[in-house]
């Protein structure tokens, strides 16, 4: 019964594919007409809507293939150009022409982006030949619909899937955005440090200087007043030293550099006005940038809970799952936290973005507030001891290769060749020397070749496994969920 239902479902999916031909054929005609008008008559304004129409059809096809076959076909398009940025004089440049409005430069950039993207023309080719491919697959669709859908998915992946160039362009675009976010975060941090030094430490030092100047004037005429001012200067210097230490902790806390993230978070809990419970599960220390990002994020969240959330208690949980790091901060405050209200959450998101991290906020009115921060692939896999091990059959093959490769290489190959060259009559158990003369040298060379190949395989199988494991470690993944 289940097989019958599955078969009917597959036939229904095939019928949907053929029904789409009713949409594709008019789209093909419209595409040809709009391309001819764009190229032949210079009506270039028709090219972008035509391209968008074809891309919508291609995306619909990717979505159907993903739902029906499970094959993920990533979009191959190059990243869209950024919006025009005005110059110092307020004008917008497009090549050698200046414009008062950003509309024309934006349109030119978009038109060139669509025209120069190879995926645009791959979509056009797919749209033109897709009905023909469907008709050619009719016999397979009728006999083996599931296999036919799989073959059709491969055809779609061939023209609609991402290429190495598009993936690289996407990664470059992502790195550029991440770099800009990191630069903005660093600039904001520098402005904060400058503000703290200007409003706090610098003002205190100026006051100390003025106090010492007054002491110089009073030390001869009024020693008691001079002593009182010196005591004030001493107290002010102590306060200035405390202020400087606070600024230094804001740059990179000594406890974080010396003791690591776990102890640094516990120190935050001790200094916080809240009653904070800390649970840290870290086998080893993460890298310094990761530690700093997590530390300052937790510090900001605890500060928000105390100042804005009117919380009394909070919990901080730092845990790992393989290479992923998760930090959860929960407080019993009044809730209603909103990043748009300037609660520092945007700054935390910028810090996490440098590591492809994400922040999830749950803060209903009345509380409690829970902030979860996921940083994927920031820890080495070997911390958790869950590196992908080589399958047993591969390990057995490697052992077998190392155990037997010596035989064809040396006794049956190199040693037999030496016996042959020097005319030693002893044949012993050398296989080649028992064969007719015409076959001896080919068999000797064949044995040596076989032994070398076995040695190469014994080395390459573990090497390839390590390479695949490294690629898995180096590839960013989505944050894990419990």
- Structure confidence at residue 283 (pLDDT): 76
Q: How confident is the model over 341-375, as pLDDT tens digits?
A: 665 787 788 778 778 788 888 888 887 889 999 98
- Residues 203, 188: Cα–Cα separation, whole Å: 21
- Residues 439, 453: Cα–Cα separation, whole Å: 21
- Residues 277, 269: Cα–Cα separation, whole Å: 7
- Residues 196, 202: Cα–Cα separation, whole Å: 9
Model pTM score: 0.47
For the chain, give every domain's residue range. Answer: 2-78+117-162, 185-251, 257-383, 392-474
Q: How confident is the model over 98-130, as pLDDT tens digits?
A: 888 888 888 888 888 888 888 888 899 999 999
Q: How confident is the model over 394-443, as pLDDT tens digits?
A: 888 888 988 898 888 888 888 888 888 888 877 777 888 888 888 888 88
Q: Say yes or no to pLDDT of 303 above 50.
A: yes
H or E element that contains 370: strand 369-375
pLDDT greater at residue 288 or residue 253: 288
Region 62-90 average pLDDT: 85
- Residues 249, 237: Cα–Cα separation, whole Å: 18
Distance of CA 443 to the CA centre of its chain: 53
**Percent of the chain whose pLDDT exceeds 90:** 12
Q: What is the band of 379 on the pLDDT scale with cuts at 50, 70, 90? A: confident
Cross-strand partners of 320: 325
Give 257-383's CATH code, choosing from 1.20.1050.140, 1.10.10.60, 2.60.40.10, 3.30.565.10. Answer: 3.30.565.10
b/e per residue, 76-93, with b = 16+ CB within 10 A? bbbbeeeebeeeeeeebe
235 and 256 Cβ atoms separated by less than 8 Å: no
Q: How confident is the model over 145-200, as pLDDT tens digits?
A: 888 888 899 888 888 888 777 777 666 666 666 665 666 666 666 676 777 677 67
250 and 196 Cβ atoms separated by less than 8 Å: yes
Q: What is the band of 249 on the pLDDT scale with cuts at 50, 70, 90? A: low
Q: How confident is the model over 3-27, as pLDDT tens digits?
A: 677 778 888 888 988 999 999 999 9
Q: Say yes or no to pLDDT of 385 above 70.
A: no
């Amino acid at each position: 019964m289940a097989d019958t239902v599955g078969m009917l479902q597959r036939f229904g999916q095939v019928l949907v594919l053929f029904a789409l031909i009713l949409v594709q054929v008019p789209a093909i005609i419209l595409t040809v007409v709009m391309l001819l008008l764009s190229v032949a008559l210079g009506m270039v304004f028709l090219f972008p809507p035509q391209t968008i129409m074809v891309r919508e059809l291609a995306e619909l096809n990717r979505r159907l293939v993903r739902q029906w076959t499970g094959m993920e076909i990533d979009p191959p398009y190059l990243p869209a150009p950024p919006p025009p940025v005005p110059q110092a004089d307020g004008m917008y440049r497009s090549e050698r022409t200046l414009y008062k409005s950003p509309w024309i430069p934006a349109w030119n950039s978009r038109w060139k982006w669509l025209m120069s993207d190879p995926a645009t023309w791959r979509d056009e080719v797919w749209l033109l030949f897709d009905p023909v491919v469907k008709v050619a697959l009719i016999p397979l669709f009728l006999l083996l619909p599931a296999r036919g859908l799989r073959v059709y998915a491969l055809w779609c992946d061939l023209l609609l899937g991402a290429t190495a160039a598009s993936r690289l362009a996407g990664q470059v675009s992502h790195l550029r955005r991440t770099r800009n976010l990191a630069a903005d975060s660093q600039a904001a941090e520098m402005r904060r440090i400058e503000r703290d030094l200007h409003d706090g430490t610098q003002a205190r030092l100026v006051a100390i200087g003025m106090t010492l100047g007054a002491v110089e004037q009073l030390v001869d005429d009024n020693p008691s007043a001079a002593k009182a001012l010196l005591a004030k200067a001493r107290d002010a210097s102590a306060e200035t030293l405390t202020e400087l230490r606070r600024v230094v902790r804001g740059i990179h806390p000594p406890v974080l550099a010396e003791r690591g993230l776990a102890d640094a978070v516990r120190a935050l809990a001790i200094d916080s006005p809240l009653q904070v419970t800390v649970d840290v599960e870290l086998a080893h220390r993460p890298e310094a940038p990761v530690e700093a990002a997590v530390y300052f994020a937790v510090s900001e969240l605890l500060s928000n809970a105390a100042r804005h959330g009117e919380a009394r208690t909070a919990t901080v949980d730092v845990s790992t799952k393989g290479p992923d790091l998760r930090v959860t901060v929960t407080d019993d405050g009044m809730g209603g936290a909103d990043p748009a209200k300037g609660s520092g959450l945007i700054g935390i998101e910028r810090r996490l973005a440098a590591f492809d991290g994400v922040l999830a906020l749950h803060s209903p009115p009345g509380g409690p507030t829970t902030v979860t921060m996921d940083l994927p692939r920031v820890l080495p896999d070997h911390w958790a001891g869950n590196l992908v091990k080589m399958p047993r059959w591969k390990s057995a093959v490697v052992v077998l290769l190392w155990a037997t490769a010596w035989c064809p290489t040396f006794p049956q190959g190199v040693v037999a060749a030496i016996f042959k060259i020097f005319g030693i009559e002893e044949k012993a158990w050398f296989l080649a020397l028992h064969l007719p003369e015409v076959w001896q040298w080919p068999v000797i060379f064949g044995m040596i070749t076989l032994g070398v190949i076995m040695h190469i395989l014994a080395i390459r199988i573990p090497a390839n496994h390590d390479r695949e494991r490294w690629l898995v470690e180096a590839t960013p993944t989505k944050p894990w969920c419990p």
